[in-house]
Structure 1
Amino acid sequence: MASNQQVLDDEALRQKKIEEWLPITSSRKGKWWFSAFHNVTAMVGAGVLSLPYAMSGLGWGPGITIFVMSWIITLYTLWQMVEMHEMVPGKRFDRYHELGQHAFGEKLGLYIVVPQQLIVEVGTCIVYMVTGGKSLKKIHESLCSDCKPIRTTYWIMVFASVNFFLSHLPSLDSISCVSFFAALMSLGYSIIIWGASLKRGVQDNVDYSPRGKTTADSVFNFFNSLGDVAFAYAGHNVVLEIQATITSTPERPSKGPMWKGVVVAYIIVAICYFPVAMIGFYVFGNTVDDNILITLEKPTWLISAANFFVIVHVVGGYQIYSMPVFDMIETYLVKEKKFLPSAVLRIVVRTSYVIATMFIGMTFPFFGGLLGFFGGFALAPTSYYLPCIIWLIVYKPKKFSLSWWANWFCIITGIALTIVAPIGALRTIILAVKSYKFYS
């Protein structure tokens, strides 16, 4: 009996040491402002650059309606996740899939949540590789117009080199400084974008009609634009992991400071998203590019500064979305495959991941299509309605109550988004492939 108890104690100690080594649970010292800038960094990313383009596919009426609805729905589902983090006394759901396992069962929860979360996080990292590379290229072309053009693939490699270094920071808490500067940059380049757009003034012969030449084009563009909007609200995929870093006691649970940070973050998100989308579309109409910084060419120094801000931000965003992936891989290797927690293991895992996302980004740098595809296919479920399904299963609100209606509205809206957005995005990617030379 004593030997069995010793074995159990040894295993408990081993698991405790592993949790203290893993990137998500190694530190619990976060404050509410950590939540604020982590959520801003996670939310306001490459997606904001495509919002005027999304407006050009949606039109004024549907566009404003969808933007406002998305902001409200995703704030509601984010509140649900914050509330559910510690709904079981004495336990914290530190990872999205742990919450899924509680609702759906040990195995089914993993099968439902992990693939979607990985698609979002890996997909976002790939999009950020493309965004960082294209922003570097834009700076080079703006400041050195007489220089020999350098391939986008090389710029993606330059951007990746920064992430090779930063990806070896051990935990989510350790990238707080990077995340803080990334959040500041997101506010900075958003202000530059709508400020420079206003300075340019409404273009001659501006056209606010649907972007497509045919009805079919307009319909598919509308679908793709829905995915662009969905991509802009991706923070749910890392929210439990962010909350896991915040100090929690029975008297002061983590949901208090976490929610305070989320509210601040969502106010900043509104300040970034709505002016960029509305003003960008108002000035350029349906001629705006899928990355508005490409449309905004002057003043050169200001647009170069905005591109630099974007680069700093997506570096931070890449780290925020990479950390849960590192946590999943390292958890599997250490707990299931019994690898020893070590610096060598961490170097191999993280370097391999950065190489993989860099290579895919270099191969398929279709910015607008990628946003719409990942936004509809994976971000819509994890941000718009999976929290609602879990809420209905766990809390079982009374049928036809306000909570019941609110959750079902979010579920139906999100499922519709999941179906139609990838259709438009795939068409956008296919059209881009026709005229694209690989590794150009």
Structure 2
Amino acid sequence: MVEMHEMVPGKRFDRYHELGQHAFGEKLGLYIVVPQQLIVEVGGGIVYMVTGGASLKKFHDTVCPSCKKIKLSFFIMIFASAQFVLSHLPSFNSISGVSLVAAVMSFCYSTIAWTASVHKGVQENVQYSKKAKNTTELVFNFFNALGTVAFAYAGHSVVLEIQATIPSTPEKPSKVSMWRGVIVAYIIVALCYWPVAIIGYWIFGNEVNDNILISLEKPSWLIAMANLFVGFHVIGSYQVFTMPVFDMIESVLVKKMNFKPSSLLRFAVRNVYVAFTMFIAITIPFFGGLLGFFGGFAVTPTTYF
């Protein structure tokens, strides 16, 4: 996709749907690409809402185990309150600082996760056998795993929008800088995810939690810190996945429905959208299941268009 951003001389495909229209035609491209892209990005936002709320809850329960238990719904609302503020930043360029913090936090909490797992040691009676009791369950678990892996590498849905922010000249096209960034990003992703996946399974076997930090309890201060890092990470991730959605909604309202571009329109659209994803996250707070569903349903098709 990085290569296709400027594959037509004199034209930049700054949005995923523009590339779809070039490939499939003006109308068919929109019908094929936009629904899939929205499912990926809205689904990503919902997953990050659930993840952020769950991490804040784990942080609270770890720091204050004797405190009264608070429902996950309230922590999702606390997480959403940060998104209500950050969602009013105008563009990708304006969230660069938030994205940097998110990337650093990702490396920090994943390092804590696998080092704390090693410190905990292999659990008694750990089992590495399949949990599925029949063929049907085995097949569903297999495809759910593939969907989860696809979701972990779902950045392609916002590649063109990010590349659009990079200056480009005939002497130095944007793909040069973008390729460098993509390679570094995926190396970091691999360094974060692979140790957690391999060591987590080695330590906990088939009983490992969807969020490995939930399986860890000690040292409590370190686990609390890791969960806080996760919260900061998904704050940035939510914004990266959500900016293209804001752009699409606002463009449709202005160009198709003749709304006047204004701060009030932006305020209304973005608040309503954040409230919508918060409501769905509260209604369906299943982290592992959502990863597999959105990964398999929409991330995979949009990868190979």
Shorter-chain TM-score: what band?
over 0.9
Q: Which amino acid aligns with 2:22?
A: H
SS in 2 for 1:85: helix
**Equivalent residues of 1:186, 1:310 under 8 A apart:** yes
2:253 is equivalent to residue 253 of structure 1: no
2:113 is equivalent to residue 193 of structure 1: yes
- The structure 1 segments of at least 4 consecutive aligned residues displaced by more than 6 Å after TM superposition are none
**Which of these residues, 234, 239, 243, is aligned with residue 323 of structure 1?**
243
* Structure 1 position 291, deviation (Å): 1.2
* Structure 1 position 231, deviation (Å): 1.1
2:203 is equivalent to residue 283 of structure 1: yes
Q: Which amino acid aligns with 1:247?
A: P
**Which of these residues, 269, 282, 295, is aligned with residue 189 of structure 2?**
269
SS in 1 for 2:177: helix
Structure 2 CA distance for aligned equivalents of residues 365 and 307 of structure 1: 17
Q: Which amino acid aligns with 2:25?
A: G
2:127 is equivalent to residue 207 of structure 1: yes
**Equivalent residues of 1:189, 1:310 under 8 A apart:** yes
* Structure 1 position 212, deviation (Å): 2.1
1:95-244 map, 5 Å: 95-244=15-164
Q: How far does the alpha carbon of each residue in 1:35-83 deviate from its partner, in whole angstroms, 9 at most, with x for none?
A: xxxxxxxxxxxxxxxxxxxxxxxxxxxxxxxxxxxxxxxxxxxxxx000
- Where relative contact order (Cα < 8 A, 6+ residues apart) is larger, the structure is 2
Structure 2 CA distance for aligned equivalents of residues 214 and 135 of structure 1: 33
2:222 is equivalent to residue 302 of structure 1: yes
Using the size of structure 2 for normalisation, the TM-score is 0.98
Using the size of structure 1 for normalisation, the TM-score is 0.68
Q: How far does the alpha carbon of each residue in 1:358-404 deviate from its partner, in whole angstroms, 9 at most, with x for none?
A: 00000010111111100000011112x11xxxxxxxxxxxxxxxxxx
Q: What is the RMSD computed on CA atoms of the aligned residues?
A: 0.9
Structure 2 CA distance for aligned equivalents of residues 327 and 351 of structure 1: 14
**Which of these residues, 250, 256, 259, is aligned with residue 336 of structure 1?**
256
* Structure 1 position 339, deviation (Å): 1.7
What residue ranges of structure 1 are gaps of 5+ in the alignment?
A: 1-80, 387-440
Structure 2 CA distance for aligned equivalents of residues 145 and 223 of structure 1: 37
* Structure 1 position 89, deviation (Å): 1.1
SS in 1 for 2:173: coil
Task: Tell me the number of residue pairs that the alignment of Structure 1 and Structure 2 aligns.
Answer: 305
Residue in 2 aligned with 1:359?
A: 279
Residue in 1 aligned with 2:291?
A: 371
Structure 2 CA distance for aligned equivalents of residues 218 and 335 of structure 1: 48
* Structure 1 position 333, deviation (Å): 1.1
* Structure 1 position 277, deviation (Å): 0.7
SS in 1 for 2:140: helix
What residue ranges of structure 2 are gaps of 5+ in the alignment?
A: none
Q: How far does the alpha carbon of each residue in 1:190-210 deviate from its partner, in whole angstroms, 9 at most, with x for none?
A: 111111111111111211111
2:274 is equivalent to residue 346 of structure 1: no
Residue in 2 aligned with 1:88?
A: 8
Q: Which amino acid aligns with 2:113?
A: I
Structure 1 CA distance for aligned equivalents of residues 134 and 172 of structure 2: 57
Residue range with higher mean Cα deviation, 205-214 or 99-108? 205-214
* Structure 1 position 223, deviation (Å): 2.0
Residue in 2 aligned with 1:420?
A: none
* Structure 1 position 122, deviation (Å): 0.2
* Structure 1 position 338, deviation (Å): 2.1
Q: Which amino acid aligns with 1:222?
A: F
Q: Which amino acid aligns with 1:143?
A: V
Structure 2 CA distance for aligned equivalents of residues 225 and 249 of structure 1: 42
Q: Which amino acid aligns with 1:295?
A: S
Residue in 2 aligned with 1:380?
A: 300
* Structure 1 position 342, deviation (Å): 1.0
**Equivalent residues of 1:211, 1:221 under 8 A apart:** no
**Equivalent residues of 1:193, 1:293 under 8 A apart:** yes
Structure 1 CA distance for aligned equivalents of residues 116 and 56 of structure 2: 19
Highest CA radius of gyration, 1 or 2? 1
